[in-house]
Amino acid sequence: MAEMDMKSPIDISEVIGAVREHQDLLTALDAEDAASVLQHFTPIPGVKDSIVLGRTTLMKISRKYTGQFIGSKEAGKIVPRTLTVHPCVMEMDDEPERYRRTYITEVAGGLNPESHPFEIWLINYGIKCASQELHDVIMIADLNSEQSELKDSFDGVGTILMDEKTATNISAEKGNMITTEEFSRANIGDELLKIYRNMPNTFRNKTDIKMFLSSDLGDMYDDWLADQGVFVLGSNAETADTKYLRNTKGKVELVRLTNLPEGSQLVILTTKQNICYGYDDPSDFSSLTPFNSGNPYHFTAAGKYVLGFQFVSLDKSELCINDKPLTPAD
């Protein structure tokens, strides 16, 4: 299909035809900016409303034999947690001519205009915008039925943790929260290691551990690391030492989040398997459908998806946070 004449009225049927023909060129919400965070969580597709999560915590079933079997021990304990998805929408209404130069520049940089029509480029541009918006609220969103922004559409990961902290399901007494000093260049490496070493050996034996922290704290850690002067034996020099928490034998990946509130010193230690995001059909993340709005010179499109986040377990064997708030002012 030839490039759209952006100064002529838009033929929506032609646009929809182009979308169907070039469906394989459409990007997705979880493949753009939001992917920098979502890649560290476990996806659960097919969730239309909610799903109950749970992980068995091993219990003690052994004892001294006294001559008879009592059968009073339970092999495990499951604390169910519900992941609920909530509807979110993407909407765009714009004049295609505004994007002509950007399109030409990007296509000329390696794409064939004949196989990559402007209609597809514009829809992908809308999805990229939506993905950036999703990225920005994954940690801080707070479900609010009286508001209509994306940040009001579901409970973000950080919000879930703060709510559980308020409900005392996360606390120093339960072992899933630890007090840390105010982070500085002089102490951050030691303080982060303290969080990890607070965990039981069953957790420390895992090899896919994630430590989530702000990008600012990540920079502070790099500065602390430079001050140490000597690299850890067996590490791959600077790259390994900045990707993984020092003195953890490469078990703890430092995930530097760019969507935590400014100044946040919250640190989350868990595994990818313990943080889940639910959605219905993966194609919903790339479904931005053009429609006729009544203005033949405007390009209008809309899409809908459902999304929700949840931790499988808050047990001290699976999760630990420090005592800092999500937002410094809280």
Rounded to whole angstroms, the Cα distance separating 187 from 123 reads: 47
For residue 238, the SS3 value is: helix
Of 81, 76, 89, 5, nearest in space to 50 by CA: 81
Go through the domains of the chain in sequence order and give each one's CATH number: 12-46+83-136+276-307 (no CATH), 157-275+312-322 (3.30.2320)
Q: In the prediction, which pLDDT does 31 show?
A: 92
Per-residue model confidence as pLDDT tens digits over 61-89: 677 777 777 766 665 566 789 999 999 99
Q: Cα separation of 330 and 264, whole Å?
A: 10
- Per the rule left: phi > 0, alpha: psi between -120 and 50, beta: everything else, 110 is left
Task: Check residue 1 and give its pLDDT.
Answer: 39
First vs last C-alpha separation in the chain:
54
Can you give the pTM of this predicted structure? 0.85
Task: Give the largest Cα separation in the chain, rounded.
Answer: 91
Strands (E), 161-214: 177-178, 209-214
The pLDDT of residue 44 is above 70:
yes
Is residue 14 very low, low, confident or very high in pLDDT (cuts 50, 70, 90)? confident
The position carrying tokens 């606390």 is 171
Give the integer Cα–Cα distance in Å for 17 and 289.
Answer: 11
Residue 80: per-residue pLDDT = 86
Report pLDDT digits (tens) over 217-271.
Answer: 999 999 999 898 755 444 455 556 689 999 999 999 999 999 999 999 999 999 9
* pLDDT score, position 65: 75
Task: Tell me which amino acid residue 45 is.
Answer: P
Q: Is residue 35 scored above 70 in pLDDT?
A: yes
Instruction: Give me the percent of the chain exceeding a pLDDT of 70.
Output: 86
Task: Please determine, for residue 279, whether its predicted confidence score (pLDDT) is greater than 70.
Answer: yes
**Lookup: tokens for 168:** 């005392």
CA distances from 176 to 108, 126, 224, 315, 322 (A): 53, 40, 26, 7, 8
pLDDT of residue 194: 97
Task: Calculate the alpha carbon distances from 232 to 229, 238, 241, 245 in Å.
Answer: 10, 10, 8, 11
Say if residues 83 and 275 touch (Cβ distance below 8 Å). Answer: no
Could you tell me the two tokens for 195?
A: 């969080």
Check residue 100 and give its pLDDT. 75
